[in-house]
Amino acid sequence: MSSHQKNLKSLFGSAVAAMAILLAIFVSVGDPMPGVRAQDGSPTPIPSTNTVHVVQRGETLYGIAAQYGSSVEAIMTVNGITDARFIAVGQRLLIPGAQAGTTASTAVTHIVEPGETLYAVAERYHTTVDAVAMLNNVTHPRRLYAGQRLSLGDRTPSGETFARYEVQPGDTLLRIAVQFAIPVTRIAAVNNLLPQSPVWPGQNLRIPEQPPNGAWLDIQAPLVALSISPVNPIQGQSIGLRFESDRPVEATGSFMGRTFQPLMIEEGRYGAVLGVHAFTVPGVYPIHLQLVAADGRIHWYDVRIRVDDGGYGSEAINIPEDRQYLLAGEVVQTELERVITIMAGFNTTRYFDGLMALPASGPVTSQFGTRRSYNGSPYNTFHAGTDFGGAVGAPLTAPADGVVMLAETLQVRGNTVILDHGWGVYTGYWHQSEIYVEVGQQVSKGDVIGALGGTGLVTGPHLHWEMWVQGVQVDPMQWVQQTFP
């Protein structure tokens, strides 16, 4: 169970949301005009002014509106939608304002890569900055964001050629992107995939052959490559950041008012993991990166990304009378500050590698991010983790290598274990019936750390699995499906 707070409620938030923005499916349609017929009795053709978008898994109305340069209100009005949170996979939405005659077979859509500018896009497609800006309602050429979709009409890219790559065991799209020094968003786009899509050994991928000197990217030395995944995160997600430098550097950065420290993965390659708070207002935010070379020269880079609404739901929790004292503000706040002191830390050693495993075998009973009310209180907190049901005593295991930072009984969280996985990544395990580890102990992925229980502020036995990244609570289930950084 998640706790209340008085002064730090911005740390709490809402349910599992969609994992990525999929490619849109376009078809031209005519506006319905009943009763209008030509003299021969056939319907009178009506010029197309709308585009139909078929909702894909993980999409939100906010993201769809941003993709087409429309507004949530306009799409809701034309489709008779009363609640923006509820759209269904496969639902067909009219998008007002699309250019007549634009279809999936004729329209070219370009996905902006980290470091790419409007000038580079125009050059790549043999057109002008003004033409691209006008077609996409861009008012500031240097305010594109990574993952932004630009319509290029019927333009084709400049002499782009492709190599073919056969996926090897252990490969991911991000690893392949790093291997070829190509943004993962680009490889995903040309293969009709998402940056976080899984790949399988033996699968053939098209690999764009880069133009000389990275002609299409506005990235200056010492930076030579930059990758962000997911490129359009939702509220409550983690972001993997990778970059390459042509010389040794000391790197620092900031995102949404929080500083972070990229660290070396291997020679010339650096990475970091960032967190998006679950109450973040959807919109475009910059990632600031600073590299200091050995000669003391400082190089600054800014990459803009768009954060989408998570579409989280809500739930009302009723706490039994004999445990309502645990809702008291002083109890909640004191314990929260203790947890923050540990889980907002940073360790330069990275223990995690690859996908995380699930810590429990039972079913998920409550997802991350759901807006919550306790005993009739306002919905001003969110479920900060994922709950797993099961029998008391069921084993709980470490999802990744780490070090035990806390192993004791707390009032609200009950029997609690906190693991440090390095690089600012921490996981917590609340409400256990038994604790089998001690502070300072190193654990490996799969080691038993405790037993499922019903201690602390609960309405029944379960495991609450919580994750913090750079001091921000994020959805732990994303780490089961995506590798970081």
Q: Are 314 and 278 in contact (CB under 8 A)?
A: no
Nearest CA-CA partner of 217 in 248, 190, 240, 244: 244
Mean pLDDT comparison of 26-35, 133-142, 293-302, 467-476, highest-scoring range: 467-476
Q: Are 127 and 162 in contact (CB under 8 A)?
A: no
Is 438 part of a structural domain of the chain? yes
Q: pLDDT by residue (tens digit) across 417-470?
A: 999 999 999 999 999 999 999 999 999 999 999 999 999 988 899 999 999 999
Confidence of residue 375 (pLDDT cuts 50, 70, 90): confident
Confidence of residue 8 (pLDDT cuts 50, 70, 90): very low
Q: Are 232 and 308 in contact (CB under 8 A)?
A: yes
Structure-token pair, residue 206: 């098209």
Q: pLDDT by residue (tens digit) across 294-315?
A: 999 999 999 999 999 998 988 8
Q: Minimum mean pLDDT among 145-149, 316-320, 378-382: which range? A: 316-320
Confidence of residue 156 (pLDDT cuts 50, 70, 90): low
Q: Which residue has the higher pLDDT, 200 or 178?
A: 200
Nearest CA-CA partner of 132 in 183, 184, 69: 69
Q: Give the pLDDT score at 38.
A: 32
Q: What are the CA-CA distances from residue 261 to residues 20, 39, 184, 244, 250 (Å)?
A: 25, 72, 22, 15, 9
On the 0-12 / 13-18 / 19+ scale of CB atoms within 10 A, 68 is buried
Q: Give the pLDDT score at 218.
A: 61
Q: Which residue has the higher pLDDT, 340 or 326?
A: 340
Confidence of residue 36 (pLDDT cuts 50, 70, 90): very low
Residue 73 predicted with pLDDT over 60: yes
| C-alpha to C-alpha distance for 278 and 237, rounded to whole angstroms | 8
Average pLDDT over residues 58-62: 68
| C-alpha to C-alpha distance for 113 and 145, rounded to whole angstroms | 8
Average pLDDT over residues 343-368: 96
Q: Give the pLDDT score at 11.
A: 36
Is 426 part of a structural domain of the chain? yes
Q: Give the pLDDT score at 185.
A: 74
Between strands 149-151 and 109-111, the pairing is: antiparallel
Average pLDDT over residues 190-196: 77
Q: Are 120 and 218 in contact (CB under 8 A)?
A: yes
Percent helix, strand and coil across the chain, each to the nearest 5: 15, 35, 50
Q: Which residue has the higher pLDDT, 181 or 372?
A: 372
Range of the domain at 360: 312-481
Is 370 part of a structural domain of the chain? yes
Q: For residue 265, how many other CB atoms are within 10 A of its CB?
A: 15
Reported pTM: 0.67
Encoded amino acid at 61, one letter: L
Residue 471 predicted with pLDDT over 50: yes
Q: Minimum mean pLDDT among 8-12, 258-262, 326-330: which range? A: 8-12
Is 239 part of a structural domain of the chain? no
Q: Give the pLDDT score at 25.
A: 27
On the 0-12 / 13-18 / 19+ scale of CB atoms within 10 A, 416 is buried
Average pLDDT over residues 161-167: 83
Is 459 part of a structural domain of the chain? yes
Q: Which residue has the higher pLDDT, 185 or 330?
A: 330
Is 307 part of a structural domain of the chain? no
Q: Are 176 and 187 in contact (CB under 8 A)?
A: yes
Q: Which residue has the higher pLDDT, 57 or 321?
A: 321
State phi, psi for 295 to the nearest 5 degrees: -80, 5
On the 0-12 / 13-18 / 19+ scale of CB atoms within 10 A, 364 is middle
Confidence of residue 159 (pLDDT cuts 50, 70, 90): low
Q: Which residue has the higher pLDDT, 278 or 227?
A: 278
Confidence of residue 102 (pLDDT cuts 50, 70, 90): very low
Give me the CATH number covering residue 448: 2.70.70.10
Structural domain total, the chain: 1
Is 465 part of a structural domain of the chain? yes
Q: Which residue has the higher pLDDT, 101 or 271?
A: 271
Residue 107 predicted with pLDDT over 60: no
Is 378 part of a structural domain of the chain? yes
